[in-house]
Structures are given as C-alpha cells and as structure tokens.
Structure 1
Amino acid sequence: MGIKESNKLSVDASFKTPQSCRDFFKTKSRARLTPVEDVSYVRYLVWNCDGTSLLSGSDKFVSTFSFDSSSKVRFRSNLAGHEDNVDGVAAAKTNPSLFASCSADKTIRTWDARSTRYSSKVTTKDANLYLSYTPDDNYIIFADKGDSVGLLDLRANAVLDTVAFKEETNEIVVHPNGKYAFVGMSGGKVDIINLPNLTHVKTIKAHPYLSSCQSLSLSPDQKYLAVGASDACCSIWDLEEMICVRTLQRMDYPVRSVSYSHCGNLLAMGSEDHFIDVAWASTGEKCLDVSLPTECYCVAWHPRFYLLAFAHAPDRESRDHRGNVSTGIKVYGYPSS
C-alpha cells in the first residue's frame, strides 16, 4: 500500500532553519486523537519501515493503526496473544508487514500485519522490556528485566546467546550497518556491543553516574546518537569522534523517549513534563513544544513526513460517551484550520 505525496506534509526544502520550522508548525499545529479500545495506556510506539502503519504496545495487546493516502491514522485492531503487559514493539527494517513484540510474560512474538495471530513465539528467561531488529531482519536483539541482552535468530526461532550486565538495561537501537548495537544503561552509560556475538566494544559515559540512560535515537545520517536520561537531560553524541556535541536541559523530569525526524533536523523529547520538546538538532535550539494534559510515554516521528506520533498518560478529565477515561495515540502536525 503506497502513500500519495502531499505538498502539505512533505516539505523538506522549506526546513532550512529553526525559524522555518516554527513558521511551518504555526499552521500545522493540530494533534489528532485516535482512540484505542480496551487499553488503559500506551507503553511504546513505532512506525513500520514505510510509514503505512503505526504500532503500539499496550496492556496485553499490540495495537495496530493504518496510515493511508488521506494522511489519517485509523485504529485497526488489538492483536491478542501476550499474557501480560506489552512493553516493547519493533518494526522490521525492510518488510512493512512484519513486526515483533516483547512482554512481561517472558515471550517475544513476531507478527505479520496480514494476520491477526502471531507468527512465532519464543520463551525467554525473564520479562522483556525492549527489542530491535537488525537491518537484515534476520535477528532481534532484546533487553530484559534481569539486566541481560539477548539475540534471537528469527530463522531458527531460537535465542542464540545472552549477556548479563551489572547495570540496568534499557532501550536498544541497532546501527544501520548491522555491526553494532547501543544499549542504554544505568550508571549514566551507553554500552556499544558487537553483533552478532554480543561482545563489548566501548562504553559511552553519557550522563552522570547516578542517572539512567533510558531512551535512544540514531540520526538518519547515522552520525549522531541522542540519549535521553533520568537526569532530565538529552545528550547528543558524535559517533565518529565519540564526543558529546550538545546537551539539552529544558526538561524537569526524566526523558523517557527521543526521536529524530526523517530529515534529521528535528529531535522530539517526551518526559513527565506536560509538553513534548522539539529541538533543532544541530544547535539544540527549541523549535516548538506540544502541550499535553499529562506526562508523555513515547514519541515517534513518521519516517517520511513531519508528523509526530505520541502517547501520554490517560487524561482523567477527558471521558468518552460511556464515561470511561479516553486513551489513545495522537499525531501532531496537521493543518490547524
């Protein structure tokens, strides 16, 4: 399923400066809510590789949403299968139909969007929190609550190896070259490990020792790594020089989610603050903030358009026609009028 290009949304040429970004979002400042049925709150969000679907982890479900030529996000279905909370969802890098989920039920499940039942299930040693595909979609690397990182071979449908860490393990991202993975950790560290043998390469001392590096995002040009941490800061690291080029310190609470836009110019940060901070990545200058009624769990830029998907804690003041607290995902960047 393709997406028709829209002059209202695809505007790379106009994004040359922070001011041009602010001007653009003056008229594209609307956030559309897509309610999610039978879900108390959304834990994780990710777009598939071509941007035609949005996936979320929530309660015991993987929720799926379609994004079509009208540029609207529509709830599709809740895929049941897990027996406990779904904490992580990952989209395949090359096939837009394939994705995976991990849960506190100690399983990793793979899915095909063309089916309502999971394709495979692998049982792991502990409850799982984060996962990511390798660029060839042959492996999934995952982190669990036991502070271990494992590698799942999807062709054999088996865990090849696991490595235990002394520190808490958090979000994982895989470099597009497929040779390295970055693991956010407590102690203010990001560990770089080799793939597929999971051997240690280098430790980035990204934040103060008493903080925890909770969220990671690689820039589209593969040159920079954004690290959100519990010290309410987001650092940006030059991966060639292995130096911190800037630190964003506008938040008051832990930075729980970070996401680069498809052009690499914008970096969105979600936290327990009641706004999403969007920075001009090369300077750290603030371009805009998206006001929220509650704290933000996750942010995810669309892979082709200036549309930002996010989920925040349920708003107790907002209820549906049945009197239930409304829960869902929102996408920011639609025309205001």
Structure 2
Amino acid sequence: MGLKNVEDLKALLKNAGRPRDYPSHGAKVHSVDWNCDGRRLASGSFDKSVCVFILDRDRLIKDHTFRGHSDSVDQLTWHPSHGDQLATASGDKTVRLWDARAQKLVATLPTKGENINISWSPNGQTIAVGNKEDLVSFIDVRQRKIVRDEQFRFEVNEITWNRENNLFFMTSGSGHIVVLSYPSLEVQHDIVAHPANCICIEFDPTGRHFAVGSADALLSVWDAQQLMCRHTVSRLDWPVRTLSFSHDGELLAAASEDLLIDISAVSSGERVTTVPVQAATYTVAWHPSRYVLAFACDDKDERDRDAGTVKLWGVPE
C-alpha cells in the first residue's frame, strides 16, 4: 500500500477545527489511549484515578471513573483486541486490570517498584511493565501474575513489541534502541539511534514503521523490518515526549514542551499541519480508525490552570 502525498493529507485535515476540551480529572493527565474499536478513550492522572469516555460521533461523554490506585497513574493501555479490558501502571507499585463494560476492577498485581511505563503485547497474552529502577516485569494476562522479571543495567524508558510479537523494543537513556527476541529476551540488536536519551517509541498500526522521540528534540522514523532509519524530523525545539501514528500509518503526531503538536507525513517527514496548544503536551493518541487525535497538556500557569483536561482534535464525521 502506497503512502498518500502531503497535499492529500493536508486536504484530509483542513476541516479539523480547534481542539475541544473535556474535563476529566482534578490534576494533570499523564496518559490517554483509545481502545481497539475506538468507542472508548481512557485517561490516567496524577490524581490517582482513571477516566473512561465514550466517543459519541465527534464528542466525548464521560462514562466512568475508576479509583483504587494510591499513587499517580502514569501510563495505561487497552487490550489490543478486546475493547473492554484496560491495564494501568502506577507509582503505587501495582498494575491494575479493569473491565470498562462492567465498570469494575478485575485484578491488582503487586510489582517490585514504582511503575512508569506499560505495554500490552499484540497477541494480547502478555503485559510488560517497567519501573523507575529499570526492572521490566512480564505479566501473563490469563494467569494474572508476573511470570518473569528482567533487570537492566541501563536506563529503560518506553517499552513495546513489534507487530509480529517476536521482538521486544526498549528506548534507553544512552540514545540506543535495544531489541530483544521474544519470548527468550536475548539481545538481537543494539541500535545507536540518537546522540541523546531516547524517550519514546511507537509502532505504526500497519507494521511498516516505528518512530523514536529523543531528548535531542529529534524524531526519527524507522523501517520496522530492516531496522533502518528512514528520516528524521527536526522541527521541534524541546525533547520529544510523546508519539502516535494514525490508523493507516500515514500521519505521525509528536509533542513536547513546544506550544504545538507537530503532524508529519510518515512517507517523508514533511509537516502536514500543527495543532496549537497552550502548554507542554506529554501524551497524544490517534483514534484507531479516524483522523481524530486525543491529547492532554500540562498546567498552563498558576492563574489559568488546565489540569485534568482531555482534548480532542480532528476531522468530524
């Protein structure tokens, strides 16, 4: 499948309008994520809660708030094919599994440290969670227990699997991408990707590419099969904190402390459009079937606070 040209993509987004705000929490939102069918959006917050929204055409309606974590909810992820199953990682040294349809807690899994990142394997069988001490734990979803802990001697930032589920990727504080075989977890590649800390990593839904955001303010796009860098984007001025590919793998959203979200064409890295924001943006997520972007910003300032708000931008149906 060929990638669209930039003019086609610009035409698709020309009617996107301005972002709309949806109050959700009493403090900063750390993470937003769509479920697999795009009917629900979840947000995790510093206020220790998880909000679940229903998407009704082009607007969000708050459905439920999950409470139970005793510390900040730093990252969350939905099951890749079951739209009701949600997992959350918290600084309270637990991972929690929730049922969004039944609106209940399913399981609380104790971990060995303060959790900062989480990823659900594409086959749905395993959840990986990383903590502040660079320990990555692998949870068997059916057994609802940790089946393996791996301690790393380098700073582990974000973690994820490739779409084939046979490689496990980690971004590191040394600017490397470390690629392990899965499930054996043997090092296959140690890629020097950036001259500074590699912060975030994201695979596109088609499996063709992955992208890495770095503290050097660069965004790199890679061929997922050959593990070769296709191009870099250098338009942002601050460390790239968050990334998301559109459902068709055509667009890549990237954000940081810059007062905009940069949206580029995956084929070339050329800018397609920008979404203006009024504060640093640390989480973005494209809808799984539409050109609709969810995101959340940091506080604006002491007088005009924007804490706890989820934002939606994109093309209305």
TM-score range, shorter chain: over 0.9
Contact 1:108 1:122 in 2 (8 A): yes
Bigger mean CA offset, 235-244 vs 43-52? 235-244
Alignment counterpart, residue 301 of structure 1, candidates 267, 283, 286: 286
Partner of 2:28: 41
| Aligned residue runs from structure 1 range 11-160, under 5 A | 16-37=4-25, 39-59=26-46, 60-68=48-56, 70-160=57-147
Cα separation, 1, equivalents of 2:113 and 2:228: 34
Q: How far off its partner does 1:334 sit?
A: 4.1
Q: CA deviation at 1:194?
A: 2.3
**1:325 offset after TM fit, Å?**
4.9
In structure 2, relative to structure 1, the CA distance for the partners of 1:117 and 1:186 (3 Å cut) is same
Q: Deviations over 1:14-38 (max 9, x none)?
A: x83212222332322221111114x
Q: Any idea what SS the aligned residue of 1:167 has? A: coil
Q: In the alignment, residue 49 of structure 2 is paired with which amino acid?
A: F
- Equivalent residue runs for 1:158-177 within 5 Å: 158-177=145-164
| 1:291 corresponds to which of 272, 276, 283 | 276
1:172-191 to 2 correspondences below 5 Å: 172-191=159-178
- 1:160, distance to aligned residue in structure 2 (A): 1.1
1:136-285 alignment to 2 at 5 Å?
Answer: 136-208=123-195, 211-285=196-270
Q: For each residue in 1:236-255, what CA deviation from the matched residue of structure 2 results, as whole angstroms up to 9, or x when unmatched? A: 11122221110111111010
Distance in 2 (alpha carbons) for counterparts of 1:326 and 1:171: 24
Name whichever of 15-24 and 231-240 sits farther off.
15-24
The one-character-per-residue Cα deviations of 1:144-193 (angstroms, maximum 9, x if unpaired) are 11111111112222211111112111111222222112111110011112
The aligned amino acid for 2:169 is F
1:8 aligns with none
Q: Which amino acid aligns with 2:213?
A: G
Q: Structure 1: give runs of 5+ residues left out of the alignment.
A: 1-12
Report the secondary structure of 2:189's partner residue.
strand
Q: 1:115 to 1:74 in 2, by over 3 A?
A: same
Which whole-Å deviations, capped at 9, do the CAs of 1:207-243 have from their partners, x for residues lacking one? 11xx211111112221211000111111111122221
Q: Give the RMSD, CA atoms, in angstroms.
A: 1.9
Q: TM-score, normalised by structure 2?
A: 0.94
Displaced runs of 4+ in structure 1, greater than 6 A? none
Instruction: State the 1:326 CA deviation.
Output: 5.3
Q: Aligned partners of 1:300 and 1:100: how far apart in 2?
A: 16
CA distance in 1 between partners of 2:43 and 2:204 (Å): 22
Given the two structures, how large is their TM-score scaled by the length of structure 1?
Answer: 0.89
Residues 151, 196 of structure 1: 8 Å contact kept:
no
Q: How many corresponding residue pairs?
A: 315
CA distance in 1, matches of 2:313, 2:233: 22
The 8 Å contact of residues 297 and 307 in structure 2, kept in 1 or not, is answered as no
Residue identity matched to 1:74: I
**Is the 8 Å Cα contact of residues 45 and 308 (structure 2) preserved in structure 1?**
no
2:295 is aligned, of 302, 306, 310, to: 310
In structure 2, C-alpha distance between the alignment counterparts of 1:49 and 1:27, rounded to whole Å: 25
Counterparts of 2:40 and 2:89 in 1: how far apart (Å)?
19
Ranges in structure 2 where 5+ consecutive residues have no aligned partner: none
Q: 1:328 to 1:318 in 2, by over 3 A?
A: farther
SS at match of 1:23: helix
For 1:16 and 1:239, locate their aligned partners in 2 and report how far apart those are by CA, in whole Å.
19
